[in-house]
Amino acid sequence: MSDLKHALLTEARTAGFAKMGICRPDAIPQAAARLAEFVAQGRHGQMAWMAERMAWRGDPSALWPDAKSVIMLAEPYTPDDDPLAALDRHDRATISVYARNRDYHDLVKKRLKHLGRWLLDQAPDAEIKVFVDTAPVMEKPLAEAAGLGWQGKHTNLLSRDLGNWFFLGAIFTTIDLPPDAPEDGHCGSCTACLDICPTGAFPAPYQLDARRCISYLTIEHKGPVNRDLRALMGNRIYGCDDCLAVCPWNKFAQTATELRYAARPELVSPRLADLAQLDDAAFRALFAGSPIKRIGRDRFVRNVLYAIGNSGDAGLIYAAQRLVNDPDEAVADAARWAVERLR
């Protein structure tokens, strides 16, 4: 099995993954209690799915009792630019680095399936299941248990080899592979990620209140956003990279090898006035193959209008005014708010 594991690592790197680690399905006994506390405090907001199938999330061995090993893999998507620089361009929008091109779910899953097929060729009697952020699997605690890195104070996974610009994928298998040692934390006294958060979404180090997180507000939250939070969102219209971008461990980040993670030029600081004009068909055409397509035109334009309201640019009033009677009430509310702010 050690030989198979070594060969698997070589194949994983050939497939495009930068790092691999293995743990047992029962390697995260603390996860269930932490998840239960998170949900009990309501910090998951409208993400009701987090409160479902909690037994599976907290105990991967319950998700698939036959699994003996969890293979965790990391794939870099390191940006070529500084995501924080775009925040000063108030007539432009800021889109999270991971969403500026192809949907990572599709790309990572394709690599996982390729690697899984190779593994089955070596062990024909084995079985596998692959997961990329769409099943009741807690990838970050599993990746920490598998030695890929540690969950930093911003709750994202950090690696001494990769910084924090990387996606995670998992292969569950019935093969009993030698596990790796878990990674210890190396954040020390640094609080850069906590200090930079525009909305104060971290009640304490290693804790997140999604209800105040801009990534949650722009992607998962349905309906109008709390008025007290809108002004803090700046020009971020899909996701937020602040806590990731400021992390000192990114000096070890590896260049992304997948060209389809490189930002499409039209999604790097796009004009807010242009985005506000998108109807449903234009939205779908612009974001075909992108993770942004999932939130739909209405929620996206709602976010754009919050950014317009925060721009301080009176020239954008017209873009907001034309939407004050939009059929979607959240869009219309955001448009009225933006007009009030700019006046």
How would you classify residue 285: left for phi > 0, otherwise alpha for psi between -120 and 50, otherwise beta? alpha
Active site residue 279: no
With contact defined as beta carbons under 8 Å apart, do 201 and 209 qualify?
Answer: yes
Instruction: Give me the DSSP letters along 195-247.
Output: HH-TT---SSTT---GGG-HHHHHHT--SPPPHHHHTTSTTEEE---HHHHT-
Phi, psi of 169, deg, nearest 5: -135, 155
Tokens encoding 196: 């930079």
- Burial code (b: 16+ CB inside 10 Å, e: under 16) for 48-63 equals eebeeebebbbbbbbb
Q: Which residues contact 328 (CB under 8 A, 6 or more apart)?
A: 298, 301, 302
Q: How many CB atoms lie within 10 A of CB 227?
A: 9
Q: Phi-psi region for residue 126, left (φ > 0), alpha (ψ -120 to 50) or beta?
A: beta
Q: Which of 133, 180, 274, 328 is catalytic?
A: 133
Q: Give the residue numbers annotated as catalytic, written as ranges.
A: 133
